[in-house]
């Protein structure tokens, strides 16, 4: 739904409500509860999508400030504004004629398209999940994921400036990944790709160029990728072996060490080791505790702490789930006999 604000006299507000079925147009009318002091601040803070305003209520400065600071906003001026540059702004001279109403409804359709475009662009530019999904798709060589992105970019007919931003983001994600794969020239290649994009005068060509880069990558030798991921997997194993005794050690800490998101680092490990990081960490802790129970007289409370558990009851539950017996039972059967140890 578009949030529409009508900045005009009450009679104009009511007249427009009679002429336009806002709900049918996918809009909701926003009615402020307080008096408007500054229209620019109000529109931005209220997240207005469409401003329909009387020409006499809008100064040239207000229009300029809105176009510069609220690029998502669709502005419809009724009656015109003197001495104002109205680039990209719709002007309705005849307010309540069929022609005038048609102009407003067409502006609402354009506003819907603009909002859909901005939501899609924002998903690529700032949504961390999109970046994670892209990395995961590259790791698994899922060509369909990227084919879908480029198909959607073409179908939505993203405006030139936004399309260039999206393509540069895609290029950066790609070359960040190549850099992690161990390509020494990845950074220089990324800078070169950015320069090529900025030199192009056709948004269509920018999109084609970006798609070519991805298609070339997806045909890349799988052996190099496999070597990289096997190396990461072994490094994770080593990291777990060296840190399992820390109670706060887990996927989050490993992700920070390897500079990946927790979900992504866990996906890498699970795909190449056949087990998730949390399960692997638990198995390492359990094997270490089993050895301590069998070969030492260290109290069970201390063993729990040594392998990363702050609560002995929880440690005992995990141990029994893993081996089908409690730590005490296991020690009594397999370990040294310790006088006075409670059974």
**Which CATH number fits the domain that encloses residue 232?**
1.10.10.60
Confidence of residue 290 (pLDDT cuts 50, 70, 90): very high
Strand partners, 92: 78
106 domain-assigned: yes
**Is residue 260's pLDDT more than 80?**
no
Instruction: Tell me: do 215 and 227 sit in the same domain.
Output: no
* Mean pLDDT along residues 12-18: 87
pLDDT at res. 182: 67
How high is the pLDDT of residue 292? 95
DSSP 3-state assignment of 223? helix
Domain boundary among 89, 117, 145: 117
**pTM (2 decimals)?**
0.56
Q: Name the most confidently modeled range: 6-15, 122-131, 285-294.
A: 285-294
* Higher per-residue pLDDT: 178 or 166: 166
Please check whether residue 253 lies inside any domain of the structure: yes
Q: At residue 94, does pLDDT exceed 80?
A: no
Instruction: Report the distance separating Cα 334 and Cα 126, nearest Å.
Output: 56
Residue 89 lies in a domain: yes
Q: Is it the case that residue 283 has pLDDT exceeding 70?
A: yes
Q: Which of residues 336 and 102 earns the better pLDDT score?
A: 102
CB 7 within 8 A of CB 53: yes
Q: What is the pLDDT of residue 336?
A: 67
| Least reliable range by pLDDT among 54-63, 97-106, 133-142, 231-240 | 133-142
- Per the prediction, the chain carries an average pLDDT of 86
161 and 109 within one domain:
no
Mean pLDDT calculated for residue range 31-47:
88
Share above pLDDT 70 across residues of the chain, in percent, rounded to a whole number: 92
The verdict on 266 and 198 lying in the same domain is no
Is residue 303 packed enough to be buried (19+ CB in 10 Å), middle (13-18) or exposed (0-12)? buried
Q: Is the pLDDT of residue 136 over 60?
A: yes
Q: Is residue 302 part of a domain?
A: yes
Give the pLDDT score at 124: 87
In a domain, 194, yes or no: yes
Domain that holds residue 23: 2-117
**Residue 263 — pLDDT band, cuts 50, 70, 90?**
confident
Contact 276, 287 (CB under 8 A): no
Residues 207 and 227 in one domain: no
Please report which helix (H) or strand (E) contains residue 51, including its range. Answer: strand 50-54
Judgement on whether residues 229 and 341 belong to the same structural domain of the protein? yes
Those residues whose C-beta lies under 8 Å from the C-beta of residue 148, and which sit 6 or more positions away, are: none
Residue 54's beta-bridge partner residues?
78
pLDDT at 87: 60
Measured distance CA(79)–CA(72) in Å, rounded = 23
- For residue 91, list its beta bridge partners: 77
Which of 150-164, 176-190, 263-277 is predicted with the least confidence, judged by mean pLDDT? 176-190
For residues 11 and 102, membership in a common domain is answered with: yes
206 and 175 both lie in a single domain: yes
Q: Over 60: is that where the pLDDT of 3 sits? A: yes
Among residues 77, 97, 117, the one where a domain terminates is: 117
Between 264 and 74, name the one with better pLDDT.
Answer: 74
| pLDDT classification of 80: cutoffs 50, 70, 90 | low
Q: How confident is the model at residue 204 (pLDDT cuts 50, 70, 90)?
A: confident
The string of pLDDT tens digits covering residues 146-155 is 888 898 888 8
On whether both 25 and 112 belong to a single domain, the answer is: yes
User: What confidence score (pLDDT) does residue 82 get?
Assistant: 56
250 shares its domain with 182: no
pLDDT of residue 342: 42
In a domain, 66, yes or no: yes
pLDDT of 343 over the 50 cut: no
Quick one: pLDDT at residue 241? 95
**Count of domains observed in the chain:** 3
> Per the domain annotation, does 122 fall within a domain?
no
- On whether both 143 and 227 belong to a single domain, the answer is no
Using the predicted structure, report yes or no on whether residue 307 has a pLDDT greater than 80. yes
Pick the more confident residue, 221 or 270.
Answer: 270
CATH number at residue 54: 3.40.50.2300
Most confident of 79-93, 97-111, 249-263, 298-312: 298-312
**Cα separation of the two ends of the chain:** 67
Do 75 and 149 have their domain in common?
no
Q: Is the pLDDT of residue 133 over 60?
A: yes
Among 200, 220, 240, give the residue marking a domain's end: 220
Residue 140: phi and psi, rounded to 5, are -95, 0
Output the CA–CA distances (angstroms, integers) from residue 343 to 95, 212, 327, 339, in the order listed. Answer: 90, 69, 10, 11
Q: Could you tell me if 150 and 229 lie in one domain?
A: no
**Any domain includes 135:** yes
């Amino acid at each position: 739904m578009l949030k529409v604000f009508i900045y005009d006299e009450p009679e104009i507000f009511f007249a427009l409500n009679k002429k336009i079925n806002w709900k049918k147009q996918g809009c909701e009318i926003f009615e402020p509860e307080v008096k408007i002091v500054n229209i620019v601040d109000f529109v931005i803070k209220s997240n207005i999508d469409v401003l329909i305003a009387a020409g006499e209520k809008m100064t040239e400065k207000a229009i300029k400030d809105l176009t510069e600071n609220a690029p998502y906003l669709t502005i419809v001026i009724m009656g015109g504004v003197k001495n104002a540059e109205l680039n990209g702004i719709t002007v309705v001279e005849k307010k309540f004629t069929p022609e005038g109403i048609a102009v407003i409804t067409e502006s609402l359709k354009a506003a819907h398209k603009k909002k859909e475009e901005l939501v899609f662009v924002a998903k690529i530019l700032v949504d961390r999940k999109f970046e994670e999904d892209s990395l995961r798709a590259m790791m698994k060589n899922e060509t369909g994921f990227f084919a879908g992105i480029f198909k959607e970019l073409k179908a939505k007919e993203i405006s030139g400036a936004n399309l260039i931003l999206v393509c540069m983001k895609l290029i950066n994600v790609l070359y960040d990944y190549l850099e992690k794969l161990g390509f020494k020239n990845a950074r220089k290649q990324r800078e070169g790709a950015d320069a090529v994009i900025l030199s192009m005068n056709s948004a269509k060509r920018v999109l084609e160029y970006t798609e070519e880069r991805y298609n070339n990558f997806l045909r890349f030798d799988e052996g190099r990728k496999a070597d990289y991921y096997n190396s990461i997997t072994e490094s994770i194993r080593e990291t777990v072996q060296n840190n399992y005794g820390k109670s706060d050690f887990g996927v989050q800490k490993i992700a920070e060490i390897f500079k990946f998101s927790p979900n992504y680092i866990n996906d890498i490990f699970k795909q190449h080791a056949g087990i998730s990081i949390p399960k692997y960490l638990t198995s390492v802790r359990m094997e270490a505790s089993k050895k301590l129970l069998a070969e030492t007289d260290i109290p069970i409370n201390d063993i729990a702490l040594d392998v990363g558990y702050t609560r002995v009851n929880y440690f005992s539950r995990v141990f029994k789930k893993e081996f089908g017996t409690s730590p005490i039972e296991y020690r009594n059967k397999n370990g040294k006999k310790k006088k006075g140890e409670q059974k």
